[in-house]
Structure 1
Amino acid sequence: MERELLRNEFEGMGGVIRDSLIDQEVNRTILTTFNGDRSAFLKNLSLSGMTIRAFREMTKKQLQVQIMRASKYDQEIPPTPEEIQQEYESTKEQYRDLTKDKIKFKKIFIPMLGDDSASTPEVQLNLAELIAKEIKSKNATFEEMAKRYSKDLYAEKGGDWPVTERSTLSPESAAIIFGAQPGEIIGPLVDSTGFTIVLVEKKELAPPPPLSAIKEQIDIMARNKRSNERYKKWVERLRKKAIVKIYI
């Protein structure tokens, strides 16, 4: 419906799409989609049941919509300092250098295969799940379970790992661990080597960059937001004045 509203507005304003512009767009499609092979383009049209005339008409309608949308974007008007600051405050976390994030946690690692030949991956997973359940229900402390069951360098220290940088963790593990809150117990997490239970203690997240360092990106986002809001309001006005007929 939005496309039809834009097309009607275009035609109501007396807008005209020149044949040469349609030719350019058709040729661009042939070049980018069919590597410049016009025969392949025509064959594809035939297989889809569309004539070249119908394709040109479709292209004309698309151009009408694109022109009307572009006419409502005021990218040349710079955002105000208030708009810049507001956009920065709402998006600055997206620009943090995540590789500099640090986290402190305790860890219990249960290998995929235990020392006993009868310890299958299923048995080890059941063990890891039991350990996590005991800790979460407070029947045992994390430190006790780590010293008793964990098989890594820090088991004797109750699973107490040193402060760890996000960049040293796998992307999958980092996303899960850093997504948890301090005091939260995660796991068992599964990978090819075994099962991991983690107690997050403290996170040290890298600060966002100052506005001066990302002002260009913030400026673009502020312009886009304002233009999108302006465009939506304009389309809504078109909807209100449009006459829509529904045939049943």
Structure 2
Amino acid sequence: MTENYPWMEWRVARQARVVRLREAMFRSLDEARAGWEAALVNGASNSFLWHGSLFRVDRARGFVFAGDPGNPSGVVPPEEDEVDIYAGEYQLEDVGQLSRAWASLLGGFQRRAVWEISLAKFFNLAVVQPRVNPAFGPLFWLFLADDSGPGPVWDWSENMFHRVSPMIFQLSEHPDLVPSPAEVRQAQIAFLESGWPGSTDATCAGLSEEDWTRRCEAMRVEHQQMVDDRFFDRILERIDAETGGAFD
């Protein structure tokens, strides 16, 4: 009978698994970050390996794109269409594709051409974008949670970039800041206010980048449980539902 099921014990164990999965993702991102930073150095190859797959770095603009395994050495710049796909306006992913790619990678059932493209774009948002737009670092995690719920399971925006684009600088235009910093700040304020009414005030637009980033990071810390429940837990659901998938 359900009233005798140890729900509390299950919940505690589940949350512990989610935390371990989150930590595994951060370790993976740190591994990619180290490869990215090394590939930014002039005179070296602009490629690096991440979980055995090749990725390249556009040194002029900093973004990462999936590489050609048949041409692993040297400095290979992105094609024009790759700039659009990885750093421009032609980005079509939804949060479901990102969570599916992470589940494939962390769950041990990798399939070529399934995770590389999606997670290169994820890396560009989670790591590269905050290099020029620090406040977006914590806002990205809040966005992933917000776009993953609290509606029906697997209910998210058809194209996440329709919601994200106003809050980020287009890396394809770097070093130009497009949209303008004022427009990006206003979009970030609007995002927080729409999801968490009362979390912003009239002073936010005039805060320094450092103070605004600290405010956004405080929001991320305050709502980490929501991020875990809506984003990381759903990755775990995908892993558990996949034949051959396993985590911990």
TM-score bracket for this pair, using the shorter chain length? under 0.3
Q: Which has the higher contact order (CA 8 A, sep 6+)?
A: 1
TM-score (normalizing by structure 1): 0.22
Larger Rg belongs to:
1
**Higher relative strand content:** 1
TM-score (normalizing by structure 2): 0.22
